[in-house]
Structure 1
């Protein structure tokens, strides 16, 4: 959603009229798809809604597939004049990427682990080297070979046993995030016959090298609800260890970094609970760490004879760090280590033998705080930019003084850095290469500006553009946002984005409420009965970039995916006049119907985010903003809507119904496209470069609207 300057002034002045001519010409020659109207009455709380396209909720119905294929054919025909441009953009973006690339190796339990790509191949190769980077390479998984014969492929959850002999791994060949778990003998290369279906992908080895814990999903809702124990060589069926019966919770399993404990976690949006057992004694019963209390969130990390707990206990909205003995884990024993602060969000911690690294966020920017266990003075790593992101990466080694972290900004490619916390020496291990010889970060300007929301709240916007930009309202600007689940949208670098920047675009990220960009309250004020703040914040950010003449309604474009697609659907209902074009990726737009259907994957776990519409107060509030329910007879911007037939998070029928309804009632002749990937799910196409083809489609949609054809 993360370039050649060819934009002449004449392109800007006739962009709008050009696109209108294209639309009229193409529309007259190509029939617009029309979904049959089959009214279904949906009633709740004595309120009746008529859904004319409810019938699209059946992927096994040939009529549904036929309609999706019609929409795809229409999109292909209507954009046929951009096909060569799409190919050129794909090749341009691909040419900036180092094809024969490799990750920075990390050392774990005596082996260096590497993920690498070979030129001309679409999938990664997972390998390792014993003891030294000069040692012979052992290829564990060549995903290019494994992907043969599949239109979609994803390998996930590779987990190595403590004796380095076994690797558990999982494969999804549909895109619905339903994984088949298998086990490979890394010494012989043999893959065991055992296949465990319907898992979440991960596996966790106990210290005995034969016991593997994993999580399974409910077959219908896809909620991860059961933890099982598999024993190598056993003829017995896998044993159910834990069943999460509360359908608003999901469960997972992992091993503590100290390697002393196996942990089962259960979480909902507002509440956490953990169970622990000695990794040396996997057949013993798991012990509850702290029983769930609604509203109490916590996560645990083990060190020495204690656990360290990041929690919101005692109304610590921005979270705090507490400590408790490993033999007395109930919350009555927890003691403050880093107290709550109103202006600092404690996001996470990374524990080492000699140091504690604290990931914090203040004023919307994340920082790394280094604290020595021996009482030496603490310090922060310094960062100067206001449009950057910093994050810890592969810190799997407990007994080291070296912190590995990543850094990037909107104009600075991502770097992987090793930092010695004792000597403070820094080594840049790798900076993302941008091939082609044309990229120079000094050619771009980054800035953070602040829009004022309708309630007076200041909303940060991160942006990047080529130097020399004139604020005359004529610049095309793509404004991206998400704004849900407390997900922070940090500023980041994208080599693909250069294809827009070098053609005159401004790229901006609106850090709206519903995310956690400015602290936990930022999230709380953008969910449940405050959800509309997310939409009005985005609209106010749009008005700001127009008022400041970065762009104008004739050149402003909006983009968001999933819950960000909900945002797109809401703002085009509320303020369609602000945007010339909108990209809605896998959009969650049929809020009420989905949230009332607890058989749909992930629904019940979402109640603490959106509210439960079985409660009339939440039903009425959802109905007031649900994009599908609020489509009306008015002018809408040009729209590109994407989805995947096998999407497990936002079912394909939501965007399909939304587009069908828009076609029936909108009052203009602007472009409206539904592009359904018939082979993929929520994440789109698999493969390293296939995703670039989808991005090229989106970019040509924007550039074509601007009259930019090469």
Structure 2
């Protein structure tokens, strides 16, 4: 099929490209599956590229009538966004760091100004910087627009500054494959150092003396597996491997401890982990293992000094499915785990999920989830883990459904940075003044993201509702709509879901979503099992051999919406991305009649094929999420019974759009490419099934904020057109 094949006369319907069938047999555990489209994996094959271009041409032809709607939604997003804007400055050592966005430019500009130090709270009050107003003493570290000029793609994968503020390391991806080029800039001269590191992964940090840069490399399957050290002024070819992880099912990364005295290497999967520490004061000791992975404990560690004693704060699941927090003398880790003494700081609670903890010089800061809501609590370090421990204090907000998370903090700072948002409250940046023991903290509002175009939060409502799953489980829903919508059963609806990796779909403001709500759409976020909204058990009840609960929960959410009295059941669409794209493929097979349209963004729809091949990007890392179908016939059978590609059946599928990117390394383009071919070949209906492919994009699509807005406008226009919600109310 060539591009010309989809160029049709104005009075005829476009014809979808038909890929040739090249049967390939795949046999596991006595079961043989014939895959007719596996040849589309040959990324360098000109026939594959021609086919993908033909798919895009077909998509363009089918959706040509949506062009004005896409333009309208794009303009609505643009007109509500203050395009010239900046972040709230964050202090690090002697500087305030922030980023600027300029109208008409797609990428951020990284900046800084010198900080004052007078030993008072005022030292931590960010300077007033205003959109479009020059700041005295401002230095530009990196202009993303200049970096992106002439490149098909641009993404900044991380940055680090030496403690003296002289050197700036940054990582750039110009392909969308999440492999980065690291460069180092001398901020005193503006010149780049001669050394350049290619094909690095996420993660950058300087040693305290600024002489060594730590970075990560991934293996051929895009699994981060090496932590390397680059000594400035030496050839990159001589860089040393500090740590290498050879277990293909383990993910490796690193960071600095809050007090920056240690490099912390984290190795783990979703079920257990291992932390190794490098003490910068005694690097000759090498990496020290805290709790070995053989103990099968899932934990995070934060080393710190308490009254001059080396301590480690542990967030762990030892006899605590929802995790708890303990504090341990560092000397205890030389003993076998069962002989160590751990003092409880935050006890286990079946109703509270502990997400993690860090420290400042005076306080422990805990991220937790209670009643589905992510929130922050702080406790004074004095007496931590003893009967004299202070009670935790939590910032109080005035909305029922919200998200409050850490926005970063300096170890010595008397404040922590919080980011607050809800479905209809634009992100707010607060500094929370850490309270003395027994006192309440103070919230200092630093910024609320402006929303233009006459936006008023009171014009919209978010409510918590509950759907009943097929096994009787109550599934939380976030139901978003205009406040003036009439409950007469005539509106359109969209159900959105994810449901994997214990990722929660927390309340959060989204400008693009307003364009659907203003067209009378009731937008439902289904907090299905496999996510983390209801604690660790909620996740475990939606993974491995419980994965089908994710799909049936989503169908139950759709049934709730159909029966809610708000919408016409014939006007419901569905949307999800990545693992949520697998969810879209699964519900399309389970209940195609319930949806007028489905948008599957970078969809993981050929999961079994992928996970059966450990050489494919990230496949082995997925075994802890889905099970290992290579070694376990029960997992193989279970997965084959739900994976979308293998379960396409002769029914009338709704309108489907698979949205993908040619350079995506997390969910390869071949998965949706094969899926849409199988859907078209088997579907008994006449609804169009299209694939939109970004040839220069990655897992997040094309780069740049304007291209991102265009992508979201495309997705929403496809749904809105299918469910008859094209006109503003």
Which TM class, normalised by the smaller chain length?
Answer: over 0.9
Change (3 A) 1:439 1:37: same
Q: Would the aligned equivalents of 1:270 and 1:294 in 2 still touch at CA under 8 Å?
A: no
Aligned counterpart in structure 1 of residue 540 of structure 2, from 524, 537, 550? 524
Work out the CA distance in 1 between the residues paired with 2:208 and 2:279: 9
Taking a change above 3 Å as real, the CA distance of residues 356 and 472 of structure 1, as seen in their structure-2 partners, is: same
Which secondary structure does the structure 2 equivalent of 1:327 belong to?
helix
1:232 is matched with which residue?
Answer: 232
Q: Give the corresponding residue for 2:619.
A: 603
Deviations 1:665-697 (A, max 9, x none): 101111211001011111101112210001111
The aligned runs of 1:604-623 (5 Å cut-off) are 604-614=620-630, 615-623=632-640
Q: 2:397 aligned to 364, 376, 383, which one?
A: 383
Q: 1:328 aligns with which of 325, 328, 332?
A: 332
Relative to structure 1, is the Cα distance of residues 88 and 547 closer, same or farther in structure 2, using a 3 angstrom cutoff? closer
Please, which of 130, 135, 150 is the counterpart of residue 114 of structure 2? 130
In 2, the alpha carbon distance for the partners of 1:283 and 1:682 equals 40
Q: Which residue of 2 is the match for residue 420 of structure 1?
A: 433
Structure 1 match to 2:386: none
**What is the distance in 1 between the residues matched to 2:77 and 2:474?**
35
Partner of 1:152: 153
Deviation, 1:287, is 1.3
Q: Which residue of 1 aligns with 2:120?
A: none
TM-score (norm 2): 0.91
Q: CA deviation at 1:76?
A: 0.7
Distance 2:418 2:255 in 1: 22
In the superposition, relative to structure 1, how do residues 546 and 708 fare at CA in structure 2: closer, same or farther (>3 Å)?
Answer: closer
Is the CA contact 1:169–1:201 (under 8 Å) kept in the aligned structure 2?
no
Q: Secondary structure at the match of 1:192?
A: strand
- Structure 1: which 5+ runs fail to align? 1-23
CA–CA separation in structure 1 for the residues paired with 2:706 and 2:211 = 37
Q: Is contact 1:450–1:459 with CA below 8 Å preserved after alignment?
A: yes
Aligned to 1:120: 104
Residue 701 of structure 1: SS of its match in structure 2?
A: helix
Structure 2 CA distance for partners of 1:300 and 1:26, relative to 1, 3 Å: farther
Which residue number corresponds to residue 46 of structure 1? Answer: 30
Cα deviation, residue 213, structure 1: 1.3
Aligned 1:483-632 pairs, distance under 5 A:
483-614=499-630, 615-632=632-649
Write out per-residue CA displacement over residues 229-282 of structure 1, whole angstroms, 9 at most, x where no aligned residue: 110112470011111011111211221111111111111121111111222344
Contact 1:411 1:464 in 2 (8 A): no
Which structure exhibits the higher relative contact order, with contacts defined as CA atoms closer than 8 Å and separated by 6 or more residues? Answer: 1
Separation in 2, partners of 1:383, 1:143: 35
Partner Cα separation in structure 2 for residue 201 and residue 591 of structure 1:
24
> Equivalences for 1:148-547 in 2 at 5 Å?
148-218=149-219, 220-235=220-235, 237-282=238-283, 284-293=285-294, 295-304=296-305, 305-313=310-318, 315-329=319-333, 331=337, 332-374=340-382, 375-395=389-409, 397-422=410-435, 424-436=441-453, 438-547=454-563
Counterpart-to-counterpart distance in 1, 2:568 and 2:607: 31
In structure 2, the CA distance between the partners of 1:454 and 1:386, relative to structure 1 (3 Å rule), is: farther
CA distance in 2, matches of 1:440, 1:180: 43
State the Cα deviation string for residues 71-98 of structure 1 (Å, max 9, x = none): 1001111112222322222122111111
**Aligned-residue offset at 1:27:** 9.1
CA contact (8 A) 1:557 1:581 kept: yes
Q: Does 1:56 align with 2:40?
A: yes
CA contact (8 A) 1:491 1:509 kept: no
Task: Determine the C-alpha separation between the residues in 1 that align with 2:113 and 2:87.
Answer: 13
Cα distance between partner residues in 1 of 2:361 and 2:528: 38
Superposed CA RMSD in Å reads 1.7
Distance, in Å, in 1 between the alignment partners of 2:492 and 2:367 is 36
Residue pairs, 1:22-33, within 5 angstroms: 28-33=12-17
CA 1:268/1:27 → structure 2, altered by over 3 Å: closer, same or farther?
A: farther
Q: Take 2:624 and 2:402, find their aligned partners in 1: how far apart are those partners? A: 31
Moved more, 156-165 or 280-289: 280-289
For 1:642 and 1:26, the matched residues in 2 are separated by: 25
CA distance in 2, matches of 1:707, 1:342: 44
Aligned with 2:80 (options 78, 96, 100): 96
Q: What is the CA–CA distance in structure 2 between the aligned matches of 1:659 and 1:251, rounded to whole Å?
A: 34
Shift of 1:381: 2.2
**CA contact under 8 A between 1:360 and 1:368: conserved in structure 2?**
yes
- What is the match of residue 658 of structure 2? 641
Distance 2:282 2:102 in 1: 42
C-alpha separation in 1, matches of 2:196 and 2:33: 45
Structure 2: segments with no counterpart, 5+ residues: 1-7, 117-126, 128-134, 383-388
Alignment partner of 1:65: what SS? Answer: helix
State the Cα distance separating 1:333 from its structure 2 match: 3.5
How far off is 1:326 after superposition? 2.5
Q: CA deviation at 1:25?
A: 11
2-side partners of 1:672 and 1:165: how far apart?
A: 54
Report the Cα distance in structure 1 between the residues aligned to 2:378 and 2:209, rounded to whole angstroms: 34
